[in-house]
Amino acid sequence: MADACCGPAPARPNSAGATTSDDGPERLRQVRELQYAAIAAVLLGAGWLIGTAGSERVATLLALLAAVVAAVSFVPGAVRNLRHGRVGVGTLMTIAAIGAIALGQIPEAAMLGVLFSIAEGLEHYAVTRTRRGLRALLSLVPPTASVLREGTEIILAPDELSIGDIMVLRPGERAATDGVIRSGRTSLDLSAITGESVPVEAGPGDEVHAGAINGGGAVEVRVTALAADSSLARIVHIVEEAQERKGAGQRLADRVARPLVPAIMILAALVAGLGSLLGDAMLWIERALVVLVAASPCALAIAVPLTVVAAIGASSRHGALVKGGAALEELGRIRVVALDKTGTLTRNTPQVIAVITRNGVSEHDALTAAAALEARSEHPLAQAVLTAAGDVTAAEDVTAVPGHGLHGTVDGIPLRLGKPGWIDPGDLADDVAHLQGEGATVVLVERDTTVVAAIAVRDELRPEAPEAVHRLRGLGIDVAMLTGDNRRTAETLAAQAGISTVHAELLPEDKAALLPALAGGRRIAMVGDGVNDAPALATADIGIAMGAMGTDVAIETADVALMGEDLRHLPQVLAHARRARRIMLQNIGLSLAIIGVLVPLAATGVLGLATVVFIHEFAEVLVIVNAIRAAEAAALPGLTATGARHVDVWIRTPPLAKGIRS
């Protein structure tokens, strides 16, 4: 089982030179180990029936043949591992089977082989099934794409697309790769990627991600990424790599299993040696063989890895990328969540709702001056000002003062744009307070040391935010809001969301410094956009990027990336991780308990080989079945689980950028 048992599973290379083991049987009857086990079981049963009829020699031969057939599934792997200096559970089972045959316990040896092969086959099938569920995402890419080249529409395979090509996306068709709409308007169904069932309206300039379904009119899309580098291929690569990372629970199982195998062999040798000095040598050698089987840590070796693979695969089908076993286990221990305001609790589409001016300055002039400073900014509030102002000429010598604002010059006149406090509002103070009380963010425009305008921008609360906060509290998780916005605006919005703990007017480094105090010794998660909140995401026990679909930095720097814009993904993934962690602990506890109980009973002769084999392998099957439960994750109302049949799509996986967290 796993590498600790019989060596790594066969793997094939992908186009990046990496290997993947998701190819395998689609049905239980196709599992090689189960086929061997079935044949061996039939032979063993036939031998028993013939033995009851009085033909002992034929019965013994059939039992021996059954033992050999069953051993084919694990003995060759154990021998290969032994040749490379690796002693695993398969080695213990091989020694026990050979020893049982040598002692004349041939039916018991056959039973050991049958049950061990069944457990191994079930694990192989379970791992294959969960990995296939993830890679089935790639079947969302259509086999062909319609492309306009030199005025002619042609049909190409996705891997033949070039950056700059114009894809024609008709109603009901899927996008073959990422792009930007050049002409036409439509609605895009992203449910298979983000887990959100509500279509998104899109028009010229809007992004289209690989796998998105065109639910409206025909659109022309300019290709911005090769099919091998699309957001969908990136997601699959990142999650596959994450599945290989080990969490604390998995490392615990490894730390126990690694020294346990040689320790078991030493224990068995001591039982045989010391027992032989005190009594019947054959009796104690037989008990030593039973100890080998009883102390086999095979269930322990697969207890956590299988749970991790199943849980991460289930999360990815619900629009959440969990970056490995360490992140999954830590996510299951979270008791405090800190939420950024802009883009997390709000829609991230702010609009200018009021412009108040002084000193004869018109609203248009005030917006133009503000937009000149914001011309090259990517901040959501900047985009609201730029949208309201229209085309403007960028200011000169623009300098950003983090957490405060901007300053520069237009036609030689100095300008400043920033928050009240950094700029004194003067006689606009009452207007600023009123607008902030309505939940708006206010920035002041100062021209040549004189405040000339106050611009109010408001980003509406996500409609699902109150429900998401309520669900978090239902999980026993405390919720706090962190923002760089002013206190009155922050408190107004927090009250609408049902959040009582609010920290406002924070610089990026202030958010990071505040997290330990908020945690109070508990595990804390920070939820932000993955870029502006990078210090806090790195400081928190778990960094969670919200709405990260297509955002390289957000996906690769956070521990968890929520691909959709629905905040309810957050309590969903936290509840799922908590359940997966419980399953891990259950499996580890059961595995250690079985070893602790069976070893002394085997060493003292209370249990024979047949009984120990049955109990041990039955417990192993229980561990596998329990681990598979981690693949179950119910979608919340309005959220959709992805589902797609498996196809073999070759991708070139891009190298990961170095993230903030290790």
Q: Are residues 58 and 185 in the same domain?
A: no
Tens-place pLDDT, residues 226-260: 988 887 777 666 656 655 555 666 566 556 666 77
Confidence of residue 1 (pLDDT cuts 50, 70, 90): very low
Q: Are residues 427 and 534 in the same domain?
A: no
Supply the pLDDT for residue 661.
30
Active site residue 340: yes
Supply the pLDDT for residue 141.
78
User: Which residue, among 635, 527, 540, 631, has the nearest Cα to 579 in the 3D structure?
Assistant: 631
For residue 367, is pLDDT > 80?
A: yes
Supply the pLDDT for residue 235.
67
Q: Considering the domain boundaries, does residue 119 fall inside one?
A: yes
Could you tell me if 519 and 511 are in contact, meaning their C-beta atoms sit under 8 angstroms apart? no
Out of 340, 478, 533, 566, which one is annotated catalytic? 340
Q: Are residues 453 and 491 in the same domain?
A: no
Supply the pLDDT for residue 251.
60
Across residues 524-528, what is the average pLDDT?
91
For residue 225, is pLDDT > 80?
A: yes
Question: Per the structure, how many domains does the chain have?
Answer: 4
Q: Name the H helices within 419-540.
A: 429-437, 465-474, 487-497, 508-519, 534-539
Q: Name the H helices within 414-507.
A: 429-437, 465-474, 487-497
Could you tell me if 512 and 539 are in contact, meaning their C-beta atoms sit under 8 angstroms apart? yes
Residue ending a domain, among 443, 460, 477, is: 460
Supply the pLDDT for residue 112.
75
Q: Are residues 499 and 419 in the same domain?
A: no
Confidence of residue 573 (pLDDT cuts 50, 70, 90): very high
For residue 658, is pLDDT > 60?
A: no
For residue 457, is pLDDT > 50?
A: yes
Tell me whether strands 478-482 and 334-340 are parallel, antiparallel or unpaired: parallel
For residue 183, is pLDDT > 60?
A: yes
CA angle, 570 then 574 then 579, to 5°: 150
For residue 641, is pLDDT > 60?
A: no
Q: Are residues 450 and 472 in the same domain?
A: no
Domain that holds residue 416: 349-460
Could you tell me if 353 and 442 are in contact, meaning their C-beta atoms sit under 8 angstroms apart? no
CA distance 444 to 479: 31
Supply the pLDDT for residue 155.
92
Could you tell me if 633 and 641 are in contact, meaning their C-beta atoms sit under 8 angstroms apart? yes
Total-model pTM: 0.65
User: Which residue, among 59, 74, 64, has the nearest Cα to 40 in the 3D structure?
Assistant: 64
CATH number (domain holding residue 488): 3.40.50.1000
Q: Are residues 466 and 340 in the same domain?
A: yes
Confidence of residue 643 (pLDDT cuts 50, 70, 90): very low
Tens-place pLDDT, residues 425-440: 988 999 998 888 887 8
CA distance 611 to 601: 11
Q: Are residues 202 and 159 in the same domain?
A: yes
For residue 98, is pLDDT > 90?
A: no
Above pLDDT 90, what percent of the chain? 21
Kindly report which listed range (179-193, 204-218, 609-623, 645-659) carries the lowest average pLDDT score. Answer: 645-659
